[in-house]
Structure 1
Amino acid sequence: MTPPRKRLILILGDQLDEDASALTDFDPAHDTVWMAEVLEESTHIPSSKQRTTVFLSAMRHFAEHLQARGWPLMYSQLDDANNTGTLAGELSKAIAQLKPQRLVMTAPGDWRVLQSLRAVAQQHDLPLEIKDDTHFFSTVRDFAAHAKDRKQLRLEYFYRELRQKNGILMEGKKPIGGQWNFDADNRGSFGKQGPGLLPAPTRVAPDTITQDVMRLVNDKLAHHPGSITQFGWPVTRAQALVALDEFITHRLPSFGLYQDAMWEGEVWLYHSHLSCALNLKLLNPREVLAAAEAAFHKGHAPLEAVEGFVRQILGWREYVRGIYWTQMPDYAEGNAQQAHEALPEFYWTGDTDMACLRDAITQTLQHGYAHHIQRLMVTGLYALLLGVEPKQVHQWYLGVYVDAVEWVELPNTLGMSQFADGGLMASKPYVASGKYIDRMSNHCKGCRFNPAESTGDTACPFTTLYWDYLGRHADMLAKNPRMLMQLKNLNRLTPEQREAIATQAQTHRAQQKAPQA
């Protein structure tokens, strides 16, 4: 019979860090780590095969690491005969068996999970100690203090505070280079010549543990989206450190200039591909930014590239977490523009004549990955212009991408991409016609649609829907100074042109089919 334990330390699938706050004073003589694979975490939204494989394989590798240290561990596998299928059920079983005096965990990244585990603790009359997630540079309290009494929240100001507080890319109290933001220098396209020879991405051959997980996923989640035939994500800290080093060495110098560029069939380009490892806590953002900053000081990477990368991690990543935890649970229901269309079926297959969408969705289903412009200005832009219900867009993003944990995915999708929070997070809706995609990629060259046309058989749906979007939301957009130029362009259209665009947009919407779960 297992003697009662003093503490049960709860470790979730996105907390795979032996330096996590919940483990800082772990006592193997009296404490036990609890981890659980449960079907609920892959089915409350249809999690893709790539995403589920990343989580389960990384969890099993981390569990193996803890066992090698000799730490007591209670671990539930997805295919255990008596697995209840829920975190609440598995935790209740562990409590009944181990009879701990208290539960301890690092703050989770999902509101739903936090409420579920709190309910279990209350049910068993056990204290649940929730420790700050020291993986981040700031706390939720820090963000709340920053946001207090501000009429508008904007990333730039929080980002500057964190740069100063942590001394990153700073010369005393001033930013290196004399400016905080080099975004204007980081919008290059590959031009007609294309990207040329690209550095190879870091891909990891599946080991025995990962292969076992892949078989399990193909068996238990056979009908879930995507494929794992090309699985190659880092699932251990050692693998993640290799991925970091290879990014800094081979891709960071060109990352800034080409971070917004797209090219048909090129999945990886100059991006870091580190967000998954960061969000699983296999990497600490401090070591990632230290490596990038060191590359600048050594003259290996230009300031524009390094600052752009720093802004993604120290800026956006911290900012969206603050938005999430200060606004939930109501934030998830946001639909400021009253969008109610269904997510088109092709989001689950990639079967569409629109070349940019076909490319972005196909690679997403194959790899669980697309870079930020593909997410914001291709898949997200189309859903916004079409008028898809924001929650459906959120559920798709949460399900298909390997780096998706709700704290980071939800604000990026509902706030940044879909403007469903009415401007709390972003200063304007990120809308554009097909001409933007034509400028930043070669997708339009091989597409049957013409980005310069808004009506007719070859009109680009992005362009049609863009003008239709401006027309439908003109009153709301007129209150936003950053949208006035686009509205001026709309007002140059004749009433007949606007009516023809609206008719074509409605016809296009009618042709889209609801998704099949």
Structure 2
Amino acid sequence: MSAAACCVWILGDQLLIDHPALQWAEAHTAREQIRVVLIESRGRLQQLSYHRKKLVLLLSALRHYAETLRARGYVVDYVSAETFVDGLQQHVSAQQPDQLVTMAASEYATRELQSSLADRLQLPVQIVANTQFLVERHNPIPEPEPGKRYVMESFYRDMRRHYAILVTDDKQPVGGAWNFDKDNRQKLPKDAAPPPRISFTPDDITRQVLSEIAAVRHGVGSLDGFDLAVTHDQAQAALDDFLEHRLAGFGPYEDAMSSQHMLIYHSMLSLYINIGLIDPLTALRMAEAAYHAGAAPINSVEGFIRQILGWREFIYWQYWRQMPGLRMANSWGAQRLMPQMFWDGQTQMRCIQHVVERLLADGYSHHIERLMVICNYCLLAGVDPAGVADWFLMFYADAYEWVVLPNVIGMGLNADGGLTATKPYIASANYINKMSDYCKGCHFDHKQRLGEKACPYNFLYWNFIIEHEATLRANPRFGRSVLGLSRIDEAERRQIQAQADEYLAELEVYENSGS
């Protein structure tokens, strides 16, 4: 073991309790020679107008993490600087380490920065593998066979087998099926009463962060009622609470939307998994144990496991396959700015109004509202994918580039040419009415596709199919929807296009979107 002084740089979304960079340092030098550096980068925090609760979550969790490390005997240098490089240069100048170790970042630009640190700092730099993602721990990382498309379902099954999650001894799916989606598309009953999620009272550290964010005129959304987990113990309590009170009901209603219940039976654990407060494999094993203990049915447990081991991991895998070009992907040629209603919730479209108002309040909505309310509208209306991605990064407390770009640009907007998803996820108002109570009491009629009361989702949906008929007809997964166009005569098609053109021409947009 060397006596060389070692700097361990841990990023703010890498708050792992057992951090591989620390493990590397401990294996290569004496504990008393290790200095941990944590950096609050003002430039990074103000890169976009992020949700204020997202900023509080990140800063409070980072400051609590510093205290956790100190309690474990580490010396922590907590630095506030304009950039990460500025902070590292301050630390290196003051501490004079012999080497630096850091865990590979989850985002492309930061990983590129890490690769340049040896030259910038004139210091040996060791970058250890990222362990926040199970696909990164998979050895070897799954790769498609030459000439074959590797869809999420195949990826998910391979990951289930590799990690032996919900599979039998001969690697077959527990319950006789790999997924139970057919059981998980129910509308929430009117008398449903999903239990509330656990909440946490802000302590002195969090109250200080709240005060700091309130004093800075930056960001979107409200700070009122901040009650998120900011420590590993609190995040574990949130996981325990979900498994005990909401996992059993999750499956049947995971696609449901409600004006009365924001979470329904969703977990909201992505906020904590994405910054390292919860280990994804721990969450998966605990959910699997709940099934075997009879605490939750197979469709709910498999649905939850699919969200993490399937979608989360597949999206991360796609991000690294497609970067750096993914941010610029725009296969539909969409150019419109993000509409104003997505910034303030001021609209007569009840579904968008509810989702945006909740976002402004809490920085969260569940995956179907993201896909079928927000992305569906933006794809149909021709909103620029990069602008939509930036909006997601700003408004969602669990949003980071690795998850937003493939989920939004790839899946939600189908702007990557079909690399992430095999079809565009578009729908008329009929889907929203089927899966929610949003259409009840709305100014617009979900059944009408023309006229003053016609829901914009309807004429925009058919306008999109008319405009892209040839492309959509060539997609075998979209044939049925294109066939529906045959029931609309030429005169009505022209009316649909005219109403869509008029609506889009008058659509109020947010001129500073993306800033």
Q: TM-score range by the shorter chain?
A: over 0.9
Alignment of 1:170 with 2:190, yes or no, is: no
Of 141-150 and 365-374, the range deviating more from structure 2: 141-150
Per-residue CA distance 1:97-132 (angstroms, 9 max, x = gap): 222222211111111222233334322232322211
CA shift in 2, pair 1:140/1:168, >3 Å: closer
1:121-132 → structure 2 map (5 Å cutoff): 121-132=118-129
How high is the TM-score relative to the length of structure 1? 0.95
Helix, strand or coil at the partner of 1:481: coil
Q: TM-score, normalised by structure 2?
A: 0.95
Deviation, 1:337, is 0.7
- Is the contact between residue 103 and residue 128 of structure 2 (CA under 8 Å) also seen in structure 1? yes
- Per the alignment, residue 493 of structure 1 pairs with 488
Instruction: Tell me whether 1:180 sits opposite 2:175 in the alignment.
Output: no
Tell me how far apart the structure 1 counterparts of residues 322 and 139 of structure 2 sit (CA, whole Å): 14
Matches within 5 A, 1:122-201: 122-139=119-136, 145-147=142-144, 149-172=146-169, 173-191=171-189, 194-201=190-197
Match 1:305 to one of 300, 305, 313: 300
Residue of structure 2 in register with 1:214 after alignment: 210
Task: Give the root-mean-square deviation of aligned CA atoms.
Answer: 1.6
**Contact residue 142 and residue 155 of structure 2 kept, 8 A:** no
Q: CA deviation at 1:505?
A: 1.0
Letter aligned with residue 15 of structure 1: Q
| One-letter identity of the residue aligned with 1:250 | H
Shift of 1:513: 2.5
Contact kept? 1:360, 1:374, Cα under 8 Å:
yes
Q: Is residue 342–residue 513 contact of structure 1 (8 Å, CA) maintained in 2?
A: no
Which secondary structure does the structure 1 equivalent of 2:159 belong to? helix
Shift in Å at residue 5 of structure 1? 6.3
Query: Compared with structure 1, are the counterparts of its residues 370 and 381 closer, same or farther at alpha carbon in structure 2 (3 Å cutoff)?
Result: same
In structure 2, distance between residues paired with 1:45 and 1:426: 27
Q: Which residue of 1 aligns with 2:438?
A: 443
Once residues 145 and 281 of structure 1 are traced to their aligned partners in structure 2, the CA distance between those partners, rounded to angstroms, is 23
Deviation at 1:427, TM superposition (A): 1.0
CA deviation map 1:448-489 (0-9, x unaligned): 001111111101011111111111111211221011100000
- Given candidates 43, 56, 60, the residue that maps to 2:59 is 56
Distance 1:350 1:169, change over 3 A: same
Contact 1:454/1:460, CA 8 A, preserved across alignment: yes
- Taking only the aligned residue pairs, the percentage that are identical comes to 38
Instruction: Name the CA distance, whole Å, in 1 between partners of 2:69 and 2:142.
Output: 37
Contact preservation (8 Å) 1:237, 1:282: yes
Partner residue of 1:472? 467
* Unmatched segments (≥5 aa) in structure 2: none
Output aligned runs, 1:199-238, within 5 Å.
Answer: 199-220=195-216, 222-238=217-233
Letter in 2 for 1:43: Q
The residue type paired with residue 50 of structure 2 is: S
Equivalent position to 1:37, from 29, 35, 40: 40
Count of aligned pairs: 505
The residue that corresponds to 1:80 in the other structure is none
Q: Which 10-residue stretch deviates more, 87-96 or 176-185?
A: 87-96
Residue equivalent to 1:12: 11
Q: What SS is found at the alignment partner of 2:251?
A: helix
1:477 and 1:448, CA in 2 relative to 1: closer, same or farther beyond 3 A? same
Residues 394 and 410 of structure 1 are in contact (CA less than 8 Å); yes or no, is this contact kept in structure 2? Answer: yes
1:420 to 405, 415, 418: 415
1:227 aligned counterpart, secondary structure: coil
Shift of 1:143: 7.5
Shift of 1:140: 8.0
Give the one of 268, 276, 284 matched to 1:281.
276
Deviations 1:290-315, CA, capped at 9 Å, x for gaps = 11111111111000000010111111
**3-state DSSP of counterpart to 1:446:** coil
Secondary structure, aligned partner of 1:34: strand
Q: CA deviation at 1:408?
A: 1.6
* Alignment counterpart, residue 102 of structure 2, candidates 102, 105, 108: 105
Aligned-partner SS, 1:388: coil
Letter of the structure 2 residue corresponding to residue 209 of structure 1:
I
Q: Distance in 1 between matches of 2:481 and 2:139?
A: 36
* Alpha-carbon distance between aligned partners in 1 of 2:364 and 2:264, rounded to the nearest angstrom: 12
